[in-house]
Structure 1
């Protein structure tokens, strides 16, 4: 989901923070180096979600805003004869995805596309479409249901990870996220939006506080460590400032207020 502007997270401002002159995609890739799932979810729960989405051994899988393709690669472990397409604009993330696929012996079963997911035109429909923490690509949850959902075949599964308000947002949370109250609904509201768009949840995972803390500390810590390990790099000072700003926004802003739900959806 990449929490505030790129992959891995959710809103469109946490991940990018105040990156002004540095390469946002590169720093996001560094920030996710210890958490390639790029969403506040433990690996065991990723597997649980993929098991619930299991449809057929030779499934065609599409991951929109795939980042390092952690979800797509793990899905291939559940579909032994399947093939996955991963779509993302970040060449840094896709380079890591290609390396991970090669290391796991899955390079021939994963095709990576460096392009805007909004313009991706596939060759046929997919059995499983993933868009976790990347709904900003399609201007939010409703847009993702429509745009990502069009790639799902009639018997397929759509998995979307999206933020929601656990409790009414405070002014500090809204400022930290650069958000308005209406940018997110509550959990029941997410289900309502899905059903109104013709999708029925058959399973969901709601990320807990431990998953959130692990994600955020991994994001901040990875970027901080890189900056401290590379003090002479021209981007080191700004990377350290971005990590500190993000940490402050999280701890003093949206911690325990913003939730994250990953929904497994079928056509109604």
Structure 2
């Protein structure tokens, strides 16, 4: 049980595995008015940057769960680096079935709603761990503008227009699920650039160091086509945001 190697190669230098900058992540933590001792559960926690920095800055405690052995070890190292290893722990496991032993104050899945088969399923999953009146965080892509053709859709790593909502549709969907949107932080194109372009550098550095690896051809193909596809499609058509929800 692990992520494919290409994921950890592609995002080897990333501390945040989504198109949100460290400044935006910090702004979100401040906007949520997190009280010291807030207990959090972060599903698909990656290398743990959100939990670690919020533990440091807001004294939250909690658990992160991720399927990647590489990312989980990096998360544990990050917790030690920022001095919060006694406040947060990171579990290697399948987040798609993970429910906290006791209700938490904050339950999140930032950028991996496939663990619940989509937004609705992930909201339901997180709700099983969340105390009444608690905060839920969902990170999710949305269409910045309607894709005009199938090649644009596929250039955004989607199969159909229905894979993502327009932003007003996404907000409405949260309401249909019985939740109020109480905060949000949206990526901008610079956020996307910092996330996406860093992948190209990671791929190139890895390729230079591992020219004979079995993944070399795949990495070379991605590096050869990825930048053009990104600036033509993803950068123009795909948005991304973290949405804070409270049950009605």
Length-normalised TM-score, structure 2: 0.91
Deviations 1:50-104 (A, max 9, x none): 1122342111111100111111112212332x32201111101111111111212
Q: Which moved more, 1:257-266 or 1:28-37?
A: 28-37
Q: What's the counterpart of residue 15 of structure 1? A: none
Please report how far the alpha carbon of residue 202 of structure 1 lies from its aligned counterpart in structure 2 after TM superposition.
Answer: 1.1
Q: 1:204 and 2:184 equivalent?
A: yes
Give 5+ residue unaligned stretches, structure 2: none
Q: What's the counterpart of residue 131 of structure 1? A: 109
Which SS does the other structure have where 1:148 is aligned? helix
Q: What's the counterpart of residue 76 of structure 1? A: 55
Which SS does the other structure have where 1:238 is aligned? helix
Q: Which moved more, 1:122-131 or 1:103-112?
A: 103-112
Q: 1:115 aligns with which of 80, 90, 93?
A: 93
Q: What's the counterpart of residue 221 of structure 1? A: 201
Q: Work out the CA distance in 1 between the residues paired with 2:128 and 2:110.
A: 16
Q: Work out the CA distance in 1 between the residues paired with 2:83 and 2:111.
A: 26
Which SS does the other structure have where 2:181 is aligned? strand
Q: 1:28 and 2:4 equivalent?
A: no
Q: Work out the CA distance in 1 between the residues paired with 2:128 and 2:225.
A: 37
Q: What's the counterpart of residue 255 of structure 1? A: 235
Q: Work out the CA distance in 1 between the residues paired with 2:61 and 2:194.
A: 30
Q: Work out the CA distance in 1 between the residues paired with 2:88 and 2:96.
A: 20
Q: CA RMSD in A?
A: 1.8
Paired residues, number:
245
Please report how far the alpha carbon of residue 123 of structure 1 lies from its aligned counterpart in structure 2 after TM superposition.
Answer: 1.2
Which SS does the other structure have where 2:36 is aligned? coil
Length-normalised TM-score, structure 1: 0.85
Q: What's the counterpart of residue 145 of structure 1? A: 123
Please report how far the alpha carbon of residue 33 of structure 1 lies from its aligned counterpart in structure 2 after TM superposition.
Answer: 2.6
Q: What's the counterpart of residue 179 of structure 1? A: 159
Q: Work out the CA distance in 2 between the residues paired with 1:154 and 1:97.
A: 29
Q: Work out the CA distance in 1 between the residues paired with 2:28 and 2:212.
A: 42
Give 5+ residue unaligned stretches, structure 1: 1-22
